[in-house]
Amino acid sequence: MRDDLLIEIGLEEMPSSEVSHLSEAFSSGMCAALKKHSLSHTGITAYATPRRLALWIKSLQRQSPNKEQAVWGPSTDIAFNDNGMPTKAGLAFAKKNNLDIDNLRKFVQSDGKQEKLFFKQTIEGNYTQNVIENLINQVLSKLPIKKRMRWGKSKREFVRPIHWVVLVYGKEVLKKNILGIVSGVHSRGHRFHADNKIAIKSGSSYEQQLNQYYVVASIDERRRIISEGVERLASQFGGRAVIDESLIDEVVAITEWPVPILGHFDKEFLVVPDEALISAMKRHQKYFHIMNKQGRLMPAFITVANIDSTLADQVRTGNERVLRARLADAKFFFENDCKSSLETKRKKLSGVVYQARLGSLREKTERLVKLCQFLSEFVGSAPDLATRAAEICKADLVTDMVGEFEDLQGIMGGYYAQNDREHPSVVNAISEHYLPRFAGDKTPKSPEGMTLALADRLDTLVGIFIIGLQPSGSKDPFAIRRTCLGLLNIILENDIDIDLREAINFAGNLVSGPSESNHACELALTYTLERFVAIYKEKHIAIENFKAVAALGLANPLDINRRVLAISEFKKLGDAGALISANRRVMNILSGATFEEMVVDSKILLEPAEINLFKNLKQKGSIAQKLIAQKNYPTALMELASLRQPVDEFFEKVLVMAKESHLRENRLALLWQLSQVLRNVADFSLLTNADAD
Amino acid sequence: MTETISAAKNFQELIFCLEQFWAQQGCVILQPIDMEVGAGTFHPGTFLRSIGPENWKSAYVQPSRRPTDGRYGDNPNRLQHYYQFQVVMKPSPKDFQDLYLASLTKIGVNTSIHDIRFVEDNWESPTLGAWGLGWEVWLDGMEVSQFTYFQQAGGLECFPITGEITYGVERLAMYLQGKDNVFDLIWTEEEGKKISYGDVFHQNELEMSCFNFEHADIEFLTYSFDHCESQCNQLVACKLPLAAYEMVMKASHTFNLLDARKAISVNERQRYILRVRDLARAVAQGYLDSRAAKGFPLADKEILAKAEIGKGK
């Protein structure tokens, strides 16, 4: 027997970031819990709005299958006496398990060692309606709620206060205690359109029933309504709506009956940079903005109401009024900020503390100037332009606009630099220097931008390590992890050939003297290079490839990356596995030997296989050496891969641990040289044949 | 008052309307605390009453001072002195949201025309050592109220939970009256003669902005803060938590004035906040102890049994 089960939890408005997140967890949690109880079904459809989490579980078994369980009793020599009659122990087992005493002999089976009393017990499966209450409560109590809350006079915790629970199984309404609420048949409609009780008939009718009461239960369906509506309104206005993924996610999560409405704002506000206007619309008001064919912002916005208003004009007017106040603020800030130059504003930075022991923001910019000077050579930027950008890059932090819209730091700096008629490269460098702002964001494109972005991150990184506030455990108050990832990504994406140890030490010296900063700089370097692990995990590159390279103590991220990528490619070659194994064998043999320079005496090489290996090693080794010097690791490794044959032959035919000590020493030296040749690229002993993690 | 007000025609009627509505819900209608505070939450009727197991329902208007928000009366939306209408119910009733929506209808907001939303906004007061979860309420995109379920106050876990609604009175009035400038709000009207919000408060905004930003005596304020701090600690030791709490309010406002005078650096700022928070915590514990000594006269027996008194975090 199977029936559809519908569960709906009705509650006060959930945080927008929780709606789909909890819906998925509720669905997968129920799926796992049902499986654990051996209750099968044919699929789950999840619904979620700000006020409800619902699951339609299709064709859910009414009872889990019966189970057979083996019950073992005492062995026959204990259960029966010499006359073959049941003993006390035998009788007790029979009585306990309700077995026929006269036929007790029938309940005997060997467990492989001896004969014992035995019988198969059938355990009846659980009825779904008996276990469902516990099951739902357990799943709900384990939902990954970011912040749990309490309400009223209950000690119960959930994401928001719960108001109703619907539990309909087939044609039956289940009355269960779910998080302190007695479940029933009644859901509720839209808060303002249809605040009535709705008797839910079944899982299959749920979505349609709610729709009649102005609730679009499906997240995907609301997303479709919103994106189609927003696009339609924008094209009617003669433009194209910009539908940011995170914004539509949020809007989907704060509406039950989404109705897009177009509103306007005054053209006069378009003098304000687009980014500021968009920030005001998107971040504060959750509006979609509209671009024209030329990619310029148009004086309109689309808000998504949660009501099909009887007077939609009033909703529009209300939203226009709110936006007008915000944009008026933005315009006032912008015009006010433009009245003085960044150079003038920079003076105020002396009064702004950057970090307790790292001086003012002004002092930070002074360090950035020196860092840019140093870095320009490596990045290939114009030093005078990069240092000019460094001087004024933080001045926008004391502007009204950035005070109000923090996410515009750097971007506004670029506009204000333009207003001051700074060189276009200086303008670019300033607006780009916070890039990448988040994981997966673009990196700066101009050399001056890269230079300043690197300088800013190096100074932050080193400074925080020097004052001892670096990340520990899960605590990372200054987002140093992100800083380091940004640093590496800027270097890798733009092929910047720089030794990070040198750069970090340079930055460290600017913050404090070498004696004070040395240790912190080493820690900072190690921490930064460890971020490679995250980068490679994302790219599905085996972490051991990185560890093998890192073991060489390199500090040039570009070089490290080239080696790691070359090894990943190399491992795909047929000879790679054998060579890696051979190297491990070499390392084992050498583990007792000293690791000082070992020289091979070619005159006492006897066996053809060792002579052959020696010749090959010399030849391939020197080719590889040249290629490595050119940083051409893929070809170098291809050359080295061809050593596989002579190495295999050597191990097959030559006895390394010869009795004669001079032969033994010489062969060990040969192997040592082999290991050294490989070590020019990476520590091969840390590699396995595993392709990826 | 014999006649029931049906909609808020002007600013003062809006306040009457809200008072009347919440009085009908059994709230104790209090008057504002007669001291400078930054928000209705500072009123002992919210902060102290949210501590401990006792029941409490109250509503009041609270003039709120935010010295740094002063704009010399030039900005149509920002004031350094404005009104909050505060409602607290402890334990928070099951129909708290519905009551709030009914109050909106009562002041004249038609909920089938306007787009009303509960948008997540978690509230935290670092100076009071308090936090809660809830929403800001949007009316056609404008934030008009703040809705919070207190989880902690003065560093103490709340039980039962206080539900708090804070109405931005000026914002709601601007909405109801369709005004873009707060100073154009009609405060009251008699036989065609209108008194505007500007008539009542514009001069005050201008003068107080001058005081907050330019004239407030930094030396005195710094001394005053220190004095409030030490006096607060003395009063806590003397088991006079209510008096000690007045010192917390004074210290907090003094800090806000010093902030407006830009007399506090970024780092010092954090330290000042922590100093006020320490005071608030000490007072919260002292208040809880003082109510415990009286046997929590306003508590339900059932709740008293469930509460684990004095467990701090």
A76 or B39, which is more confident: B39
Structure confidence at residue A573 as a pLDDT band (50, 70, 90):
confident
- Assess if residue A130 is contained within a domain: no
Sheet of A108-110, strand order: A67-75, A115-123, A108-110
How many folded domains does chain A comprise? 5
Residues A410 and A493 in one domain: yes
Report residue B116's pLDDT band, with 50, 70 and 90 as the boundaries: very high
pLDDT exceeds cutoff 90 at A514? no
The answer to whether B112 contacts A310, with C-beta atoms less than 8 Å apart, is: yes
**Interchain contact, B267 vs A314, CB within 8 Å:** no
Radius of gyration for chain A, computed over Cα atoms and rounded to the nearest angstrom: 36
Please choose, from the candidates B10, B64, B78, the residue with its C-alpha nearest in 3D space to the C-alpha of residue B32: B64
Query: Which residues does residue B148 pair with via DSSP β-bridges, in sequence order?
Result: B134, B164
Question: Domain B217-306: which CATH class?
Answer: mainly alpha
Looking at residues B99-120, what average pLDDT do you find? 95
State residue A354 phi and psi, 5-degree precision: -80, -55
> In Å, how far are A415, A429, A436 from A445, measured between CA atoms?
17, 9, 11
How many Å apart are CA A568 and CA A571, to the nearest integer?
5
Q: What is the pLDDT of residue B40?
A: 96
Beta strand segments in A124-220, E = 162-169, 172-173, 177-178, 181-182, 186-188, 197-199
Helix or strand holding residue A71 (H, E) = strand A67-75
A468-496, pLDDT tens digit by residue? 889 988 888 889 999 999 999 999 999 99
The DSSP letter of residue B77 is: S
Residue A659 has a pLDDT of 87
* A500, A555 contact by CB (below 8 A): yes
Do A91 and A224 sit in the same domain of this protein?
A: no
Helices A361-379, A500-511: axis angle to 10 degrees equals: 160
Cα separation, A79 vs A90, in Å, equals: 4
Averaged pLDDT for residues A94-108 = 85
Same domain assignment for residues A76 and A59: no
Q: Is position A521 within any domain?
A: yes
For residues A301 and A434, state if they share a domain. Answer: no
Please answer whether residues A336 and A396 qualify as being in contact, where contact means their C-beta atoms are separated by less than 8 angstroms. Answer: no
Residues linked to residue A181 through DSSP beta bridges, in sequence order: A178
Nearest to B120 among A15, A305, A317 (CB): A15
Instruction: For residue B175, give how far its alpha carbon lies from the nearest alpha carbon of chain A (Å).
Output: 8
Q: Is B149 on the interface with A (CB under 8 A)?
A: yes
Whether A155 sits inside 8 A of B97 (CB atoms) is no
Q: Is the pTM of this model over 0.90?
A: no
Q: Which two tokens stand for residue A458?
A: 């190096």
B115 and A307 within 8 Å at the Cβ level: the answer is yes
| pLDDT, position A267 | 96
**How far is A354 from A397, CA to CA, in rounded Å?**
11
Neighboring chain B residues of A288 at a CB cutoff of 8 Å: none
For the ranges A354-358, A377-381, A435-439, the maximum mean pLDDT occurs at A377-381
Name the pLDDT band for A113 (thresholds 50, 70, 90): confident
Q: What residue spans define the domains of chain B?
A: 11-212, 217-306
- Rounded Cα gap, residues B102 and B165, in angstroms: 13
The residue of A307, A316, A357 whose CB has the most chain B CBs within 10 angstroms, and thus the best one to mutate to test that interface, is: A307
Q: Is A353 on the interface with B (CB under 8 A)?
A: yes
- DSSP notation for A592-612: TS--S-----GGG--SHHHHH
DSSP state of A7: E
Average pLDDT, chain A: 92
* B225-250 per-position pLDDT tens digit: 999 999 999 999 999 999 999 999 99
Count the neighbouring beta carbons within 10 Å of the beta carbon of residue A274. 15
pLDDT band for position B204 (cuts 50, 70, 90): very high
Give yes or no: residues A48 and A161 share one domain.
yes
Contact between chains at B93 and A13 (C-beta distance less than 8 A) = no
Residue A272 lies in a domain: yes
Nearest Cβ partner for B94 among A152, A317, A324: A152
**Mean pLDDT on A671-677:** 87
Yes or no, beta carbons of B112 and A13 under 8 Å apart = no
Tokens describing residue B237:
């030791």
B313 CB contacts (<8 Å, ≥6 apart)?
B152, B155, B156, B157
Q: Is the predicted pLDDT of residue A673 greater than 80, yes or no?
A: yes
Q: Taking 90 as the threshold, does the pLDDT of residue B306 lie above it?
A: no
Interface contact A314-B113, CB threshold 8 A: yes
CB contact under 8 Å between B116 and A193, yes or no, is: no
Residues in chain A: 693
Which chain A residue is nearest to residue B89, measuring alpha carbons? A152
pLDDT above 80 for B6: no
Lowest mean pLDDT among A334-338, A374-378, A523-527, B308-312: B308-312
Domain boundary among A488, A511, A530: A530
Residues A586 and A600 occupy one common structural domain: yes
Classify B61 as helix, strand or coil: strand
Q: Choose between A428 and B6: higher pLDDT.
A: A428
- Which of B77, B115, B179 has the most A C-beta neighbours within 10 Å, making it the best mutation to test the interface with A? B115
* Chain B touched by A15 (CB under 8 Å): yes
- Let me know if residue A427 belongs to a domain: yes
| Residue A262 near residue A196 (C-beta atoms within 8 A) | no
Strand partners, B196: B186
Q: How far is B228 from chain A (nearest CA, A)?
A: 27
What is the predicted pLDDT for the residue at A396? 94
CATH 3.40.50.300 for domain B11-212, yes or no, is no
Q: Are residues A103 and A199 in the same domain?
A: no
Domain containing A484 — which CATH number? 1.10.3210
* Residues of chain A contacting B180 with CB distance shorter than 8 Å: 321, 324-325
β-bridge pairing B56-65 and B28-29: parallel
Q: What is the pLDDT of residues A173-197, one digit of tens each?
A: 999 999 999 999 999 999 999 988 9
3-state secondary structure of B302: helix
Which of A315, A338, A361 is the C-terminal boundary of a domain?
A: A338
Structural domain for A511, as ranges:
344-530
What pLDDT does residue A86 have?
A: 87
Neighbours of A605 (CB within 10 A): 20
B92 CB within 8 Å of a chain A CB: yes
Residue A651 sits in a domain whose CATH number is 1.10.730.10
Res. B311: pLDDT tops 60: no
Nearest-by-Cβ selection for B115 from A12, A163, A305: A305
Is the CB of B203 inside 8 Å of chain A's CB atoms? Answer: no
Greatest mean pLDDT among A47-51, A280-284, A576-580: A47-51
Residue A243 lies in a domain: yes
Nearest CB among A15, A315, A353 relative to B115 is that of A315
pLDDT tens figures, A209-225: 999 999 999 999 999 99
pLDDT at residue A107, as a whole number:
86
Q: Does residue A48 lie within any of the structural domains?
A: yes
Q: How confident is the model at residue A201 (pLDDT cuts 50, 70, 90)?
A: very high
Domain boundary among the residues A483, A510, A530 is at A530
